[in-house]
Every structure is written in C-alpha cells, then in structure tokens.
C-alpha cells in the first residue's frame, strides 16, 4: 500500500502511523498489544519504502530501549503500546528524559489496572504518563480527540520531541485509536517539520550536554565525529559521570526549566461553546467528544455550558485552567477514570470554584448522561 491520497476512511492508529512517517520517523520498535497494534502493522508494511526499519522487540522494555538507541543514532523513532506495555516502559522513559533523547511513545489507553478490560477504552494512564518513571522529571503529553487530530498531533509530538530533546507521549485511547473517520492527509511538503539542532562547533569543542541558550543541547548522532556520551548516571556537560551535588542540581534544574519555562509554547487547548457559561466542562481525548455533544444537549435544556478541551495535557495548562475556573459558576471534569486530571484542576483552583467529576469507568466511551448528571449536581 502507498500513502493514502484524498479523503480516506481511516482509523486513528493508522493516522498515527502516517503522521509519524510524515514527521520523518524512520524507526519503529514495538510489541503487539490491543488496541495499539495497527500502528506497528502499518509501520512494518510502510517504513521500508522510506528507507526505515521496523522491528518487533521481545517486550516493551526492549521496544523503548531500541527507539532511544535509534534516536541517538540519528533516526526519528517511536513506539506504540497500551497500559501493560506502558507500565513496562517506565524505567527507560526516565532514561530517555535524562539523556534528552527525542522520541515519541504512543499509549492507546485501555481499562486497567493489570489486564483489566483489555481492549476497552479508558483514560486512566494520565497520571502514569506524568509520574510513571521514578525521580523528578518533566514530561510532554498530548491527547487527540479525532482521527484527523491524531495525525496532526503525532507530527506535533515529533516536533516537540526534537525541539525540546525529550520523549513525548501521545495519550490516545481505544476510541480514538480504533474509530474510523474520514480524514485527509495533507501534502507532506506543506507541513512544518522540526529537525534536531546539530552542533555548530568543531568535534574538538563539542560537549554533548552543553545547553544552548534555551537550555537544549545541540545533538550529534552516533557515527558523527562529534563524540556523544549519553549516560543515565548524573553527568556534566561532557556526558561523563559526575557525582557532585551541584552537578545533579544543575542538571535536574535545567531538565525542568527547558520545558516548564516554555509551557506556553507547548500548551494547546480548544474553547468550545459560549464564552460565558454557568458550567464549564474540562475534558480531553475521547471524553471531550462527548462533552461537545453535551454542550448542545444542555443548551436545549436552557443551561449554558461550555468546554475547555485540553489538547496538550502535560505540562498542565495552569494559567488557562485557572482563568477558566475564575470565569465560570462551576466546573465539571469529564474523564474516563476515577478522577485523575481533576486533581490538577483542583490544584490551580485559586477561586475556589466548585469542581465536580464526571467519571466514566464502564469500559466504553463515557456516557453523556454521566456528564449531564454532574452538570445538574453542579447547578443544585
């Protein structure tokens, strides 16, 4: 098969694979797991034609390890999985963050913990994406709500990973991954693609972890004459081990600042519905689709409801959510879990606005009635 032209009926997982290929991904390593396997299947079939390589590793620990390795060798790389595999990836996710390796990890969420309702949708890996790997760290995570958005957000995930030299997570879910919708892949030449910054000094003067003015070190690849020493041990700008407390402090601070000082550049939200509302829904991914429906249903009942849809989840859009809280009578956070992102909403709730949870844990797309019930509760 070749690149789909024109308007196509496509599932989210396929759109993800094409987004990656169009972003320049040339290496995929993965381990099969429903509901993400189609991403691997498209890569296995399509990557060779682009000079790329697909490999099915022995497990997800090996998969994330392989994409980190390939990225250091200069290839844009990614993997895709679901909850159990995402759990196995956590240790090496930290390695990728610490060594500042651009790569993309797609988590098509399903119901957990453990095997749970395998293959049924959930959004319960949100906090795992944030804090799953041990130690202080920052993370970027994006949450697509449509098949077309899956395509564009995959490209954005690669762009952000290269721009910030860090792993980026796509928090999809079974609904987005396996729903078929009409989409159109754009002309690849029309896309803005970010490539990693190469060193601009001679090999002798190159320190692989010497940051640029924005805190991100220019990145040579294995095989270049600029020698790269990538270590999961505390290191200074040379990349070699350095156990001084001030080195550790400087590294942890830079890794945080290089992302959090640029939160506004990363944050992406959609405001839907009337400017001013009695109740504001805050949601993301598949749940936010239901929220859009609920906004219309509520209007029919004469209730003014709007939606703040988070397209990027991490870093959390503190300022925007705080503003939304300050402008509304009450907030309903709609998510397919027992309440995860609602904790972040409460954290930034400077106005003590009442916050309610609409929790969908039925292994299906969240029921609009659950959200309506939360709205009615909020209006009591």
Per CB under 8 A, residues contacting another protein are: 2-3, 21-24, 26-27, 29, 46-53, 55, 57-59, 61-62, 65-75, 77, 91-92, 95, 99, 187-189, 191, 193, 203, 221-225, 227-233, 239-241
Q: What string of DSSP letters covers 317-374? A: -HHHHHHHHHHSSEEEEEESSSSSHHHHHHHT-TT---EEEEE--SSSSPPHHHHHHH
CB of 312 to another protein, least distance (A): 23
Cβ-based nearer residue to another protein, 33 or 67: 67
Q: How far apart are CB 113 and another protein at their closest, in Å?
A: 23
CB 57 within 8 A of CB 66: yes
Distance CA 30, CA 36 (A): 10
Closest listed residue to residue 95, CA positions, set 230, 208, 243: 230
CB 113 within 8 A of CB 359: no
Between 95 and 348, CB nearer to another protein? 95
Residue 73 vs 346, nearer CB to another protein:
73
For residues 358 and 334, is the Cβ–Cβ distance under 8 A? yes
Using the minimum distance from each CB to another protein, give the nearer residue, 77 or 306: 77
Q: State in angstroms the smallest separation of the CB of 359 from another protein.
A: 35
CA 363/CA 313 separation, integer angstroms = 22
Considering the complex, what minimum distance in angstroms separates the CB of residue 250 from another protein? 19
Q: From CA 263, how far away is CA 164, in angstroms rounded?
A: 11
Tokens 């309903």 belong to residue = 332
The token pair at 325 is 């809280």
Min dist. Cβ of residue 53 to another protein (A): 5
Q: Which is nearer to another protein, 47 or 183 (CB)?
A: 47
Report the alpha-carbon distance of residue 91 to residue 150 in Å, rounded.
26
Q: Smallest distance from the beta carbon of 185 to another protein, in angstroms?
A: 10
Q: Closest CB to another protein among 39 and 67?
A: 67
Phi and psi dihedrals of 135, rounded to 5? Answer: 90, 160
> At closest approach, how far in Å is the CB of 85 from another protein?
14
For 273, the token pair is: 């519905």
Q: Give the nearer residue to another protein in terms of CB position, either 116 or 188.
A: 188
Q: Which residue lies nearer to another protein by CB, 32 or 223? A: 223
Q: Is 300 left (phi over 0), alpha (psi -120 to 50) or beta?
A: alpha
Judge contact between 26 and 55, C-beta under 8 A: no
Q: Determine contact, residues 364/120, Cβ cutoff 8 Å.
A: yes
Minimum Å gap between C-beta 227 and another protein is 6
């Amino acid at each position: 098969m070749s690149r789909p032209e024109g308007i196509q009926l496509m599932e989210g997982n396929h759109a993800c694979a094409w987004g990656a290929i169009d972003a320049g991904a040339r290496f995929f390593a993965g381990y099969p797991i429903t509901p993400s396997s189609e991403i691997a299947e498209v890569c296995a079939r399509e990557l060779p034609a682009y000079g790329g390589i697909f490999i099915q590793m022995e497990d997800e620990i090996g998969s994330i390890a392989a994409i980190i390795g390939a990225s250091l060798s200069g290839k844009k790389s990614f993997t895709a999985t679901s909850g159990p595999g995402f759990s196995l990836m956590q240790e090496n996710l930290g390695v990728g963050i610490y060594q500042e390796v651009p790569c993309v990890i797609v988590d098509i969420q399903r119901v957990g913990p453990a095997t749970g309702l395998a293959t049924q949708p959930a959004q319960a890996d949100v906090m795992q994406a944030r804090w799953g790997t041990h130690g202080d760290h920052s993370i970027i995570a994006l949450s697509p709500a449509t098949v077309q958005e899956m395509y564009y957000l995959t490209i954005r995930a690669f762009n952000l990973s290269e721009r910030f030299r860090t792993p980026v997570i796509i928090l999809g879910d079974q609904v987005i991954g396996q729903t078929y919708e009409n989409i159109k892949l754009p002309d690849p030449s029309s896309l803005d693609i970010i490539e990693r910054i190469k060193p601009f000094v001679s090999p002798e003067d190159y320190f692989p972890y010497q940051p640029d003015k924005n805190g991100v070190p220019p990145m040579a690849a294995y095989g270049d004459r600029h020698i790269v020493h990538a270590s999961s041990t505390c290191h200074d700008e040379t990349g070699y081990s350095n156990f001084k407390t001030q080195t550790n402090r400087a590294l942890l601070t830079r890794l945080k600042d290089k992302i959090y000082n640029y939160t506004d550049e990363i944050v992406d939200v959609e405001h839907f519905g009337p400017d001013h509302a009695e109740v504001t829904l805050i949601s993301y991914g598949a749940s936010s689709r239901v929220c859009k429906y609920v906004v219309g249903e509520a209007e029919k009942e004469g209730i003014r409801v709007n939606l703040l849809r988070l397209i990027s989840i991490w870093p959390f859009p503190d300022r925007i959510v705080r503003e939304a809280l300050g402008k509304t009578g009450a907030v309903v956070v709609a998510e397919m879990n027992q309440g995860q992102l609602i904790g972040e909403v409460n954290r930034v709730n400077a106005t003590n606005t009442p916050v309610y949870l609409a929790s969908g844990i039925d292994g299906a797309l969240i029921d609009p009635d659950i959200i309506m019930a939360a709205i009615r509760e909020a209006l009591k």
